[in-house]
Structures are given as structure tokens and as C-alpha cells.
Structure 1
Amino acid sequence: MRKKTPLVPDPGQRVRLRAGRGRWRGRFRAVSYPYTDEAGVVVVRVAEEGEYRDAIREGLRAVGVAWPVKEMEVVWPPEGGEQGGVLRT
């Protein structure tokens, strides 16, 4: 049996984050490509939707916080779709 390659968000994609007690929090955007942090964990920097939009409007980059890829899911379709789904990482 082959394992699926995990789905990793690209910058600008909407994501949901798994927080304490396994609860999912929504309305975030990936603001970086994946990288490995100093502890060896693959992370992506994410920002709240409002921070992301404000930064784009002002011609800046959202800073966000690093979040483990294994604790996020990509929201699909990325924009404008009426029927959305979730692609879990």
C-alpha cells in the first residue's frame, strides 16, 4: 500500500489549523512556503485572514506565525467556489 504525499499549502492558500484538544480553527492564509524549523518540524507561516488582507492592501507581506504542516488542512477550492471541501495534510 502506498502512502499519499501530504498536501502542503502554497502562499496565499486558505488553511485551517488544528489547535488544542483537536479542534480546528479556520480563516487563516499560508504566507510562506514550507520550511524545516530548528526542531526539525516542517512548518508553514500562517496569518489570520484579516491580517493577510490588510497586508496585501497596504502592499506589505503578512508576518504570521509558524505552524506545523501536519496540524493544518488546505481549504479547497481556494477562492470563489461555492462548494468547498477540505484537503487534509
Structure 2
Amino acid sequence: MALTILHIAYPFAPVGPDSVGGAEQILYRLDEALERSGHRSIVIACEGSRPVGIHVSVSRATGSLHRAEIEAAQRHHRDAIAVALGRWPVDIIHLHGVDL
């Protein structure tokens, strides 16, 4: 049975084969392996990300990570999660940026 997995990336770093952060590298490898295994992988991640699965893009935060930037990132991610859940039947949600 194929599953649909919704990954929620940390909002301040792109996800892709050349990701610089550890969490982003792990997310990319999971996304790649799930797609290769016949599952649907949906990745909510900032602009510039290059996942193997479906990319639901959100604005990439720039500048200092002050409260306003963090709150904006949270808002963008909440909106993207709502879009993804409304569009696809999701079996699992995997959070990769727990602090947000």
C-alpha cells in the first residue's frame, strides 16, 4: 500500500541534494527514498528547495530571525499545510522543524 507523507521542513533553509543543514539533508534523503519506493512524498519547504517529491513552496525568510520573521514563517507554513491537506489525502505528517 502506497502512503502519502507530508514533510514540514524547517522554514529557513532549502531542501535538496546539496542541503547545508543536517535536518534538510535527512529530509531530502527520506523524500528521495519514499518516492523511489512508490510512496507520495510532499515537502513543504522554502523557495529554492529541490525535493524529489511534490514541493509546496513557501517564502524564504531573509534577514535576522526576529520575532516578526519567525511569526511570518509560521503563518506561511500553516497556510501551506492547509493547502496540502485540502489537496491530498495525507497518511503521515513528519515535522522536521519542531521548534516552529
Answer whether TM exceeds 0.5 for this pair.
no
Which structure is higher in strand share?
Answer: 1
TM-score, reference length from structure 2 = 0.26
Return the structure number with greater relative CO, CA threshold 8 A, min gap 6: 2
